[in-house]
Amino acid sequence: MAETSLESPTRTTALRDRFLNLLGTRSLIMGILNITPDSFSDGGQFFSSETAQRQAEKLAFEGADIIDVGAESTRPGHQPVSAEEELVRLEPILGRLTGVIEAPFSIDTSKAAVARRALELGVSVVNDVWGFQRDPAMAETVAEFGAAAVLMHNRESTDPAIEIIADMRRFFDRSLRLASEAKIPHSHLILDPGIGFGKSRAQNFAALANLAAFKEYGLPLLVGVSRKSLFAEPGSPPVDHSLYRTIAGNLAAAANGASIFRVHDVVEHVAAFKIFDTIARN
């Protein structure tokens, strides 16, 4: 087992609050760090402690407000891994990162056992792609550590016939009820529409176009569209325009009410949102 990081509960809480207190002041950037062999964009690139640390330091230097670490790919058709395998990938790396990098970290997992160990190692936020609805112990684990949480909408399968906004509302209502039952403060919660998860192409665009429908929850919205094929035109030439498409999608999401953006390319998004925020808040 890896040693715990130098994080103390006080420092972890301070990093959590530093992130939460930035909400509403400007657009926030969540940098992606995948410690996986099979993520769709960067699988295998940061699988060692050394490469992971260099990438985390790069993300922080470029201006990421929080760094999201994941050890299981959630791309379509991914091979699920056990909590034990996630921990084998995370433990040699995560405590090292939180101990030396002065930035808040989130853990991208839907397993309470993985979230618990990550929180012990100094993570401040749990990013659950199943919104507390996959592992019944997740909400209690988040509450126990006083962590913040991202609750993402997800579906087991795609059904183009459903009204996706209504489905998302039902999902969020249940996730928020679980959070309330666990006594997680409302101010510690963030919603994610789950772009690319259990939705048709048309439903993904509908979700992005109707983010304002979730203002009634009074919670920040996180969007993750980075490098996703959603924005590629069907049958278009195989030219990699993913960065431009990602920035365009994120700026549109910001205009519709999103305030946190999960991205691979941090420095480009920091520059784009500096201009967006200057204009939007003028």
Active site residues: 228, 262
What b/e sequence results for 179-206 when a residue is b if at least 16 CB atoms lie within 10 Å of its CB, and e otherwise? Answer: beebebeeebbbbbbbbbbbbeeebbbb
Under 8 Å between Cβ of 262 and 108: no
CA pair distance 98, 12, nearest whole angstrom:
9
Give me the helices (H) in 101-155, please: 112-120, 138-145
CA-based angle 43:46:51, to the nearest 5?
160
Under 8 Å between Cβ of 222 and 192: yes
Q: What is the DSSP letter of 187?
A: G
Under 8 Å between Cβ of 71 and 100: no
Q: Which residues pair with 29 in a beta bridge?
A: 261
Residue of 108, 113, 107, 151 lying closest to 132 (CA atoms): 151
Give me the helices (H) in 63-104, please: 83-100
Backbone angles phi, psi at 148, to 5 degrees: -90, 165
Side-chain half-sphere of 254: how many Cα atoms within 13 Å?
Answer: 27
Rg of the chain (C-alpha set):
18
